[in-house]
Amino acid sequence: MATNKTVKNTRIGFTLIGVGALGLVALATYIRSTPPPLPVKPLDTPLQRNEPLQGVPGQKETTIGKTGGDPQDGRQIMVPVPEVDDKGQLKMKSRKHKLDPSGEDARLSAVNEFLSSSNIVPKGAKAMSISMRDRTAVIEFNEAFNKTYGTIDEQTILTGLRMALGQFDDVDKILLMVSGKPLDSLGSVDTTEPLDVIRTTSKEQPVDPMP
Protein backbone atom coordinates (compact mmCIF):
# COMPACT_ATOMS: atom_id res chain seq x y z
CA MET A 1 0.00 0.00 0.00
CA ALA A 2 2.82 2.43 0.86
CA THR A 3 4.58 1.72 -2.43
CA ASN A 4 1.45 2.49 -4.49
CA LYS A 5 0.92 5.77 -2.59
CA THR A 6 4.53 6.83 -3.23
CA VAL A 7 4.23 6.14 -6.97
CA LYS A 8 1.00 8.16 -7.10
CA ASN A 9 2.59 11.13 -5.33
CA THR A 10 5.57 10.97 -7.67
CA ARG A 11 3.29 11.13 -10.72
CA ILE A 12 1.44 14.14 -9.29
CA GLY A 13 4.76 15.88 -8.66
CA PHE A 14 5.94 15.33 -12.24
CA THR A 15 2.60 16.60 -13.54
CA LEU A 16 2.88 19.83 -11.52
CA ILE A 17 6.45 20.32 -12.68
CA GLY A 18 5.37 19.88 -16.31
CA VAL A 19 2.50 22.37 -15.96
CA GLY A 20 4.85 24.87 -14.33
CA ALA A 21 7.38 24.46 -17.12
CA LEU A 22 4.71 25.06 -19.76
CA GLY A 23 3.65 28.22 -17.92
CA LEU A 24 7.21 29.52 -17.87
CA VAL A 25 7.57 28.84 -21.60
CA ALA A 26 4.32 30.69 -22.35
CA LEU A 27 5.36 33.65 -20.18
CA ALA A 28 8.74 33.88 -21.89
CA THR A 29 7.08 33.78 -25.33
CA TYR A 30 4.69 36.61 -24.36
CA ILE A 31 7.52 38.76 -23.05
CA ARG A 32 9.53 38.29 -26.26
CA SER A 33 6.52 39.13 -28.52
CA THR A 34 5.49 42.29 -26.60
CA PRO A 35 7.22 45.47 -27.95
CA PRO A 36 8.98 47.66 -25.42
CA PRO A 37 7.14 50.82 -24.36
CA LEU A 38 7.88 53.92 -26.45
CA PRO A 39 9.89 56.64 -24.74
CA VAL A 40 7.95 59.74 -23.77
CA LYS A 41 9.39 62.86 -25.46
CA PRO A 42 9.16 65.99 -23.34
CA LEU A 43 7.41 69.05 -24.83
CA ASP A 44 9.77 71.49 -26.51
CA THR A 45 7.68 74.39 -25.22
CA PRO A 46 5.65 73.78 -22.09
CA LEU A 47 2.05 74.87 -22.15
CA GLN A 48 1.36 78.06 -20.30
CA ARG A 49 -1.61 78.38 -18.05
CA ASN A 50 -4.47 80.55 -19.33
CA GLU A 51 -3.07 80.38 -22.88
CA PRO A 52 -5.86 80.75 -25.53
CA LEU A 53 -6.44 77.67 -27.65
CA GLN A 54 -7.11 78.09 -31.36
CA GLY A 55 -10.48 76.90 -32.57
CA VAL A 56 -11.98 76.63 -29.11
CA PRO A 57 -15.31 78.46 -28.75
CA GLY A 58 -15.08 81.43 -26.46
CA GLN A 59 -11.34 81.86 -26.97
CA LYS A 60 -10.02 84.80 -29.00
CA GLU A 61 -7.30 84.23 -31.59
CA THR A 62 -4.68 86.86 -32.33
CA THR A 63 -2.34 87.19 -35.29
CA ILE A 64 1.18 88.09 -34.30
CA GLY A 65 3.33 90.10 -36.67
CA LYS A 66 0.51 91.21 -39.01
CA THR A 67 0.91 94.85 -39.91
CA GLY A 68 -1.94 97.14 -40.82
CA GLY A 69 -2.23 99.12 -44.01
CA ASP A 70 -1.66 98.29 -47.65
CA PRO A 71 1.10 99.51 -49.95
CA GLN A 72 -1.56 100.75 -52.38
CA ASP A 73 -3.56 102.70 -49.80
CA GLY A 74 -3.87 106.33 -50.80
CA ARG A 75 -2.91 105.85 -54.48
CA GLN A 76 -4.84 108.17 -56.78
CA ILE A 77 -5.05 108.64 -60.52
CA MET A 78 -6.26 111.49 -62.70
CA VAL A 79 -9.38 110.88 -64.79
CA PRO A 80 -10.06 113.21 -67.76
CA VAL A 81 -13.62 114.58 -67.79
CA PRO A 82 -14.88 116.23 -71.02
CA GLU A 83 -17.02 119.35 -70.53
CA VAL A 84 -18.35 122.13 -72.76
CA ASP A 85 -17.73 125.69 -71.55
CA ASP A 86 -19.98 128.75 -71.92
CA LYS A 87 -18.57 129.44 -75.39
CA GLY A 88 -19.39 125.97 -76.60
CA GLN A 89 -15.75 124.89 -76.57
CA LEU A 90 -15.05 121.35 -75.46
CA LYS A 91 -12.42 121.14 -72.73
CA MET A 92 -10.95 118.39 -70.64
CA LYS A 93 -11.13 118.84 -66.91
CA SER A 94 -9.98 116.19 -64.48
CA ARG A 95 -11.02 114.48 -61.30
CA LYS A 96 -9.18 112.22 -58.90
CA HIS A 97 -9.99 108.56 -58.51
CA LYS A 98 -8.72 106.60 -55.52
CA LEU A 99 -7.59 103.12 -56.44
CA ASP A 100 -9.01 100.11 -54.65
CA PRO A 101 -6.41 98.87 -52.12
CA SER A 102 -7.12 95.28 -53.20
CA GLY A 103 -4.95 95.75 -56.28
CA GLU A 104 -6.86 97.79 -58.88
CA ASP A 105 -4.82 98.30 -62.06
CA ALA A 106 -4.01 102.01 -62.32
CA ARG A 107 -3.77 102.22 -66.13
CA LEU A 108 -6.89 100.16 -66.76
CA SER A 109 -8.84 102.15 -64.18
CA ALA A 110 -7.77 105.46 -65.73
CA VAL A 111 -9.07 104.38 -69.14
CA ASN A 112 -12.35 102.89 -67.95
CA GLU A 113 -13.09 105.74 -65.56
CA PHE A 114 -12.61 108.16 -68.46
CA LEU A 115 -14.93 106.16 -70.72
CA SER A 116 -17.56 106.16 -68.00
CA SER A 117 -17.18 109.91 -67.43
CA SER A 118 -17.34 110.74 -71.14
CA ASN A 119 -20.98 109.69 -71.60
CA ILE A 120 -20.06 108.98 -75.21
CA VAL A 121 -19.35 105.27 -75.56
CA PRO A 122 -22.17 102.70 -75.36
CA LYS A 123 -23.04 101.19 -72.01
CA GLY A 124 -20.80 98.20 -71.43
CA ALA A 125 -17.98 99.47 -73.66
CA LYS A 126 -14.71 99.20 -71.78
CA ALA A 127 -11.06 98.28 -71.90
CA MET A 128 -10.53 94.64 -70.97
CA SER A 129 -6.78 94.77 -70.47
CA ILE A 130 -3.68 96.91 -71.00
CA SER A 131 -0.28 95.42 -71.77
CA MET A 132 3.04 97.17 -72.30
CA ARG A 133 5.18 96.78 -75.44
CA ASP A 134 8.32 98.74 -74.76
CA ARG A 135 6.78 102.12 -73.87
CA THR A 136 3.52 101.63 -75.77
CA ALA A 137 0.34 100.81 -73.84
CA VAL A 138 -1.71 98.32 -75.87
CA ILE A 139 -5.37 98.75 -74.90
CA GLU A 140 -7.65 95.78 -75.61
CA PHE A 141 -11.29 96.92 -75.87
CA ASN A 142 -14.39 94.76 -76.03
CA GLU A 143 -16.65 94.71 -79.09
CA ALA A 144 -19.08 97.22 -77.56
CA PHE A 145 -16.44 99.93 -77.98
CA ASN A 146 -16.13 99.35 -81.74
CA LYS A 147 -18.90 101.53 -83.18
CA THR A 148 -19.33 104.70 -85.24
CA TYR A 149 -18.99 108.01 -83.38
CA GLY A 150 -19.45 111.62 -84.42
CA THR A 151 -16.42 113.75 -85.27
CA ILE A 152 -16.34 115.62 -81.95
CA ASP A 153 -16.94 112.42 -80.01
CA GLU A 154 -14.08 110.66 -81.82
CA GLN A 155 -11.76 113.54 -81.01
CA THR A 156 -12.90 113.57 -77.39
CA ILE A 157 -12.40 109.81 -76.95
CA LEU A 158 -8.90 109.79 -78.43
CA THR A 159 -7.80 112.90 -76.52
CA GLY A 160 -9.17 111.48 -73.28
CA LEU A 161 -7.39 108.16 -73.78
CA ARG A 162 -4.10 109.91 -74.59
CA MET A 163 -4.43 112.09 -71.49
CA ALA A 164 -5.53 109.22 -69.23
CA LEU A 165 -2.38 107.24 -70.00
CA GLY A 166 -0.14 110.29 -70.36
CA GLN A 167 -0.01 110.59 -66.58
CA PHE A 168 2.12 107.43 -66.40
CA ASP A 169 5.82 108.10 -66.93
CA ASP A 170 6.46 104.71 -68.52
CA VAL A 171 3.85 105.22 -71.28
CA ASP A 172 4.78 107.24 -74.40
CA LYS A 173 2.23 105.91 -76.87
CA ILE A 174 -1.08 104.03 -76.98
CA LEU A 175 -2.37 101.44 -79.43
CA LEU A 176 -6.07 100.57 -79.64
CA MET A 177 -7.05 96.92 -80.14
CA VAL A 178 -10.36 95.09 -80.53
CA SER A 179 -10.55 91.27 -80.54
CA GLY A 180 -6.77 91.01 -80.70
CA LYS A 181 -6.40 93.22 -83.80
CA PRO A 182 -5.52 96.92 -84.11
CA LEU A 183 -8.56 99.15 -84.48
CA ASP A 184 -8.43 100.33 -88.11
CA SER A 185 -9.76 103.79 -87.41
CA LEU A 186 -11.89 105.82 -85.10
CA GLY A 187 -13.90 107.90 -87.52
CA SER A 188 -11.45 109.82 -89.71
CA VAL A 189 -8.43 109.04 -87.52
CA ASP A 190 -6.12 106.17 -88.48
CA THR A 191 -5.53 104.12 -85.33
CA THR A 192 -3.52 101.26 -86.82
CA GLU A 193 -0.33 102.92 -85.55
CA PRO A 194 0.44 103.98 -81.96
CA LEU A 195 -0.62 107.50 -80.94
CA ASP A 196 1.40 109.82 -78.71
CA VAL A 197 0.09 110.39 -75.21
CA ILE A 198 -0.72 113.87 -73.87
CA ARG A 199 1.11 114.88 -70.73
CA THR A 200 -0.42 117.70 -68.73
CA THR A 201 -0.54 118.86 -65.13
CA SER A 202 -3.35 121.32 -65.74
CA LYS A 203 -6.80 120.58 -64.37
CA GLU A 204 -8.33 121.98 -67.55
CA GLN A 205 -7.06 121.21 -71.03
CA PRO A 206 -8.60 122.24 -74.36
CA VAL A 207 -9.28 119.33 -76.67
CA ASP A 208 -6.46 119.54 -79.18
CA PRO A 209 -6.78 118.38 -82.79
CA MET A 210 -5.34 114.97 -83.59
CA PRO A 211 -1.86 114.99 -85.17
CA dist 21 and 30 (Å) reads: 14
Pairing status of strand 189-190 against strand 185-186: antiparallel
Rg value, the chain, Cα? 43
What are the two backbone dihedrals, phi and then psi, of residue 171, each rounded to the nearest 5 degrees?
A: -115, 120
Q: How many CA atoms lie within 13 A of 16 on its CB side?
A: 6
Q: How are strands ordered across the β-sheet holding 90-98?
A: 76-84, 90-98, 204-206
Per-residue pLDDT of the chain (211 residues), as tens digits, is: 555 555 455 555 555 555 555 555 555 555 555 555 545 444 444 434 333 333 333 333 322 222 223 333 458 999 999 988 888 788 889 999 999 888 889 999 999 999 999 999 999 999 999 999 999 999 999 999 999 888 889 999 999 999 999 999 999 999 999 989 999 988 788 999 999 999 986 444 444 433 3
